[in-house]
Amino acid sequence: MARNEERLHIVMFPWLAFGHMIPNLELAKLIAEKGHHVSFVSTPRNIERLPKVSPNLATLINFVKLPLPKVPNLPENAEATTDVPYDVVQYLKKAYDALEEPFTRFLESSNADWLFYDFIPFWAASVASKLGIGTVFFSIYTVPLMTFMGPAMFLTGAEPSPRTKLEDYTVPPLWIPFPTTVAFRYYEVVKIADSLSDNESGVADTYRLGRTIQNCDFVAIRGCTRFERQWFQVLEDIYQKPVIPVGQLPNTVSKEGEEKDTWQWMIDWLDKQVEGTVVYVAFGSEAKPSQEEVTEIGLGLEKSKLPFLWVLKLQRGPCDPEVLRLPEGFEERTRGRGVVCSTWVPQLKILGHVAVGGFLTHSGWSSVVEAVQNEKPMVLLTFLADQGINARVLEEKKMGYSVPRDEHDGSFTSDSVAHSLRLVMFEEEGRPYRENIKDVKDLFVNTENQERYIENLLNLLSERRAPNLMA
């Protein structure tokens, strides 16, 4: 166990989104592999939907189920962001905040050394600190995004923020001292405006983030210094506390039961395609395009003349009133050339297939990591949250090419989709994207470096054991 001879007990408390829970589970597995105990806290239905851990880790990772309190306007059985339309997510936050009392009771009986918590439960750190438990804000968001959001004093409103209007988020802030194009587009900021101010949950996301940063002992963050060195330095200067990289946490989980049948027909189809010609299209578990966007994406795939495998989320939960439809006649016109799937798919295996030559993605960081792992160049189409900042980072490093869009409303055309796909996958102008994704792989996802990050993290946790143990 290197320097951390004594076994630690770490509690992990991620936000109720699979884009948060899965990276937390990956980190939990890496910690458990070193012999430490992890209590992974979430709601019953989410825990049931998480991939199963391997038998050798099952005794070290304990899944703790806390029933989600009922709140008005939140549908029955809605326990994750993917279960509800976007405008209902604020009520999910309200229910999550109501977990404070049962979560406190669990911590009181846990004998935990450390709490790793997300930014939505900003109250969790003060609960843990009163019990003598050390606190770590574990950010699944990237270092550029956290740096762009800025110091806690501005986020909490303790000092007047230099950002007074949405347009202020479309330029790099003054606290970033090096030249960069990393900022939101206007249409991206408009979509997340409810996160930047008061909302139905009663607490703005920016305030939650600011309090989370202020109250933790230190920050652990998904990323690696070899890829983002400048950003890490600025973030530590802003936060005035240690910022510890935990690596990119490449996905190793699978859903064995679902995967076997789904993968069989997919691999049969992929095996028949010419190497490097298939476009894989997927926008993660959260993003749901509008009907207009689905139409343009579909027609763009059709115009590209490329074979495609499109994972399309038709609804965000059973209560979503808008069910997406494919363009009229689309399936008939593309039959034999393309496949549309509306259920879960084994994305990592698809990206690893030699037939896949490009990835049309929302720029969610887990998908980005999987693309780099498998050396697939990316065409970028952002929808919400951190995706705009991720896309700018990928654009700067020429790892991904964004579909051209109207800067104000974010609209795009089928022609721009078709052109972007062909450029990145086949044209001379897109060569840098195809080459850079291979060149950056070792810098980005490296097993030895991932191992080193976890060792460094655990050594720090052992040295700075919870205050009650150091007294």
pLDDT in tens, 255-266: 555 566 778 888
- The total number of structural domains in the chain stands at 2
Same domain, 176 and 269: no
Same domain, 261 and 406: yes
Is 231 within a domain?
yes
Same domain, 70 and 175: yes
| Residue 198 binned pLDDT confidence (cut-offs 50, 70, 90) | confident
Instruction: Output the average pLDDT for the chain.
Output: 92
| Residue 254 binned pLDDT confidence (cut-offs 50, 70, 90) | low
The CA R_g of the chain, rounded to the nearest whole Å, is 22
Same domain, 236 and 290: no
Q: Which helix (H) or strand (E) holds 29?
A: helix 18-32
Asked whether residue 24 carries a pLDDT value surpassing 50, the answer given is yes
> Which CATH number is 451's domain given?
3.40.50.2000
The widest CA-to-CA distance across the chain, in whole angstroms, is 71
Is 390 within a domain?
yes
Same domain, 457 and 433: no
Q: Can you tell me whether residue 244 is helix, strand or coil?
A: strand
Bridge partners (DSSP) listed for residue 340: 310
Is 338 within a domain?
yes
Is 92 within a domain?
yes
Same domain, 100 and 151: yes
Is 471 within a domain?
no
Asked whether residue 35 carries a pLDDT value surpassing 70, the answer given is yes
What pLDDT is recorded for position 195? 77
Same domain, 309 and 385: yes
Same domain, 179 and 127: yes
- Which of 238-242, 261-265, 306-310 is predicted with the least confidence, judged by mean pLDDT? 261-265
Helix ranges, 385-464 (H): 387-396, 414-425, 431-439, 441-444, 447-463
Torsion of CA 104, 110, 111, 113, to 10 degrees: -80
Q: Do 169 and 189 contact (CB within 8 A), yes or no?
A: yes
The single residue listed with the structure tokens 């399309």 is 312
What pLDDT is recorded for position 260? 66
Same domain, 291 and 188: no
What pLDDT is recorded for position 157? 92
Same domain, 421 and 390: yes
Q: pLDDT tens digits for 264-302?
A: 888 999 999 999 999 999 998 888 899 999 999 999 999
- The angle formed by the CA atoms of residues 448, 232 and 34, to the nearest 5 degrees, is 35
Residues 456-464 have a mean pLDDT of 93
CA 387, CA 365: separation in Å to the nearest integer? Answer: 8
What pLDDT is recorded for position 3? 45
Asked whether residue 414 carries a pLDDT value surpassing 50, the answer given is yes
What pLDDT is recorded for position 199? 76
Q: Can you tell me whether residue 380 is helix, strand or coil?
A: strand
| Residue 408 binned pLDDT confidence (cut-offs 50, 70, 90) | very high
Under the phi-then-psi rule, with left for phi > 0, alpha for psi from -120 to 50, and beta for the rest, what region is 78? beta
| Residue 470 binned pLDDT confidence (cut-offs 50, 70, 90) | very low
Is 4 within a domain?
no
Is 99 within a domain?
yes
Same domain, 290 and 328: yes
What pLDDT is recorded for position 471? 33
Q: Can you tell me whether residue 427 is helix, strand or coil?
A: coil
Is 470 within a domain?
no
Helices 18-32, 365-373: inter-axial angle, 10-degree rounding? 60
Same domain, 148 and 177: yes
Q: pLDDT tens digits for 344-369?
A: 889 999 999 999 999 999 999 999 99
Per the structure, the complete domain to which residue 322 belongs is given by 256-444
